[in-house]
Structure 1
Amino acid sequence: MQSSGIDVLRALAIGSQALGLALIITLETVMGNAARPWQGWVLAAMLAVALSIALARLYRRNRQRKAADARRARLDETGADDA
């Protein structure tokens, strides 16, 4: 996923927060004080997306750590047989 140098989850997090902020400002500009409930929903959606991305990053990091541990264990086994 990260072979091209771009962290997709980080880009998604930044993009979703930027979009949410722009939407909150646009709602305030267009609707005035009537935008408050809509802004609350946008904020709640932003938090939900941020939490989802954080969980996905945690899952990916743990999966990579387990794969690295498994590779290390295989190398240790093959190295122990040679000694």
Structure 2
Amino acid sequence: MGKSFDPLRALAIASQAFGFVLIIILETWLEDEARPWQGVTLGIMLLVALSVALMRLYRRNKARKAAAERARKDSESCMSD
């Protein structure tokens, strides 16, 4: 099993929860005038979700490259022995 706390996952969950609560609050307070603000809120939620997905992809690829480099160095050191 991996790390017990993933800050990117926590950011994704928190941003989505905050966005949904904000959408409900806007509907309650502004009624029909809330529609444009709800759209903006949804757009920001999608932007944050996309950013988190890209950060996870970047970190995963960085870890793969580091593992491949370690494996390459290990194989070179074994061949020279």
Distance 1:30 1:62 in 2: 44
For 2:53 and 2:67, locate their aligned partners in 1 and report how far apart those are by CA, in whole Å. Answer: 21
TM-score (norm 2): 0.93
Matching residue of 1:50: 49
The 4+ residue runs of structure 1 with deviation greater than 6 A are none
Cα distance, 1:33 vs structure 2: 1.1
RMSD: 1.2
Instruction: Please name the residue that 1:14 is paired with.
Output: 13
Which residue of the partner structure matches residue 24 of structure 2? 25
Identity between Structure 1 and Structure 2 (%): 56
Distance 2:61 2:72 in 1: 16
State the distance in 2 between where 1:74 and 1:67 align: 11
Q: Which runs of no fewer than 5 residues in structure 1 stay unpaired? A: none
- The letter for the 2-side match of 1:34 is E
Instruction: Give 1:74's aligned amino acid.
Output: K
Structure 1, residues 32-71: CA drift from partner, whole Å, max 9, x if none? Answer: 1110000000000001111111111100000000000001
Residue 79 of structure 1, CA deviation: 1.1
SS at match of 2:5: coil
Amino acid at match of 1:40: G
Relative contact order (C-alpha < 8 Å, sep 6+): which is higher?
2
